[in-house]
Structure 1
């Protein structure tokens, strides 16, 4: 019998439930981007936490919602696939949003129906409890457990850290015995150039939340480690229209400069050394219909 334990925990839930904030809090560093814009996470992100003899691979998934576009369908399919492959499924609930309702939202009901009676441990994780009165939390917990069977229910605040230690202890109990999959000091599966592209997209969304549509993506075109320990990075921001390119650039290039400054700071922190970041903006009108772009994001290309 192995002395160590290792397993995959899929974090699923509606957009903006706090999955990315939670995974960053549990791992201890940024491995998944966080913005106020819904459906920010596009593909599966894996963060690794090693504690004692246990290693938990947290799988941050795109938010589950009613898909309308091809990219939406790819994201939702990716989330359900991650849930099917995981050892434990943790359903993240925005307690502030759900607690304000008289009954479970249609979004949550649809996710519960998709979960069904899967033969693996399922946890209900009520997030943002610092923003909800306790009676509302207890009512919400009762509604969730009446709708489906959970092995346990946790009330947490991913933002403040409240309840995370108890959640971690339970997850360690639930993952199976087995050897670790990653070195003890590794916290993310994604290569740094992929995380760097996501960080720049995070800053892009933060800066242009209301002006730029959802259809923008960032790719790291080149990464060169320099003799002085720094890195030279070239990234391209792809948008679907010329008018969007002008928005990203901003008057006199001020917007793209601000995005680059913010991204460079976080990329350097993730890389552990200074970086020289060069951003370019190009129009790629039909990238949402390009299978290669989906592969670059780690998504299967939905047909039809």
Structure 2
């Protein structure tokens, strides 16, 4: 009996770039079909590169969800932007995700605030791609919240930069247009062996994902600038006598006043955050989780580049 011929597989890396809050994590989660990146309405939620892995037939797509690219101020900001650009190096396809409604509103007279910053950050990315001589796929996101005429005008305007090889209009949140984008990417991937096991959804460790889950709940619960002044580190990962998972995490903030906000009156805020994080960890890991949260002050942690490795960043940014 003749041996079956080995199946011809294809595999490639897709880097997803964009300004903060363009919807990169939502899109990657949608294309992977599972939650591999945390998602909030606040900008700069994603701090490190996360690889989401999807297998479609004989093709494996490795999506790199990168931090939003913006004008950095802190050492942490510079590390995040560096991580985003490094994520695009050597990719088989690069997507530039654009918050279409924000970009259009930024072009209106007197525009300011988040929309203007988003458009400026997007323009900065386009200029950098042009300087690098790199082609990208333009992906206009959040199309379900705006009419067609300004959307088509935006597509024409951005394509005039000469940076984009193709254009797709999608709603990552609703799933509109994402299947066509996926079909395009599948066709673009080169022949080659899979980079990851077929059942693996992400390259992020369980410890780091647990820290990201808690950070997401903090972002969703807290307001103003507090979320940007905190980080979460998983310091304990042990088993109880019953074999159940015991997770100990430390929430680091920069000032005593922030610690008080995270704790809340009589510890109610941190208790609610812990409950929400524990429930999601239990679902993600498929086992009982006992979560213990501690809040500590560490001044200027966001300037301490040596601590970034535990966050999935590579440490000192390049000059």
Normalised by the shorter chain, which TM-score bucket?
Answer: over 0.9
Residues 260-275 of structure 1 mapped to structure 2, 5 A cutoff: 260-275=274-289
Match of 1:166 in 2: 180
Moved more, 138-147 or 288-297: 288-297
Residues 108-257 of structure 1 mapped to structure 2, 5 A cutoff: 108-116=122-130, 118=132, 122-210=136-224, 212-226=226-240, 228=242, 230-257=244-271
TM normalised by structure 1 equals 0.94
Gaps of 5+ in 2: 1-5, 109-115
* Kept after mapping to 1: 8 A contact 2:74/2:303: no
**What secondary structure sits across from 1:76 in the alignment?**
helix
Match of 1:22 in 2: 27
Cα distance 1:303–1:173, how it changes in 2: closer, same or farther (>3 A)? closer
1-structure distance, mates of 2:163, 2:201:
31
**What secondary structure sits across from 1:123 in the alignment?**
strand
User: 1:96 Cα deviation (Å)?
Assistant: 1.2
2:91 corresponds to 1:76: no
**What secondary structure sits across from 2:229 in the alignment?**
coil
**What secondary structure sits across from 1:193 in the alignment?**
helix
2-structure distance, mates of 1:198, 1:213:
12
Q: State the Cα RMSD in Å.
A: 1.9
**What secondary structure sits across from 2:160 in the alignment?**
helix
1-structure distance, mates of 2:86, 2:29:
22
* Kept after mapping to 1: 8 A contact 2:263/2:295: yes
* Kept after mapping to 2: 8 A contact 1:88/1:120: no
1-structure distance, mates of 2:81, 2:13:
19
Match of 1:50 in 2: 55
Gaps of 5+ in 1: none
2-structure distance, mates of 1:101, 1:234:
43
2:296 corresponds to 1:299: no
Moved more, 109-118 or 148-157: 109-118
**What secondary structure sits across from 2:257 in the alignment?**
helix
**What secondary structure sits across from 1:151 in the alignment?**
strand
Match of 1:60 in 2: 65
Match of 1:94 among 74, 92, 99: 99
User: 1:97 Cα deviation (Å)?
Assistant: 0.6
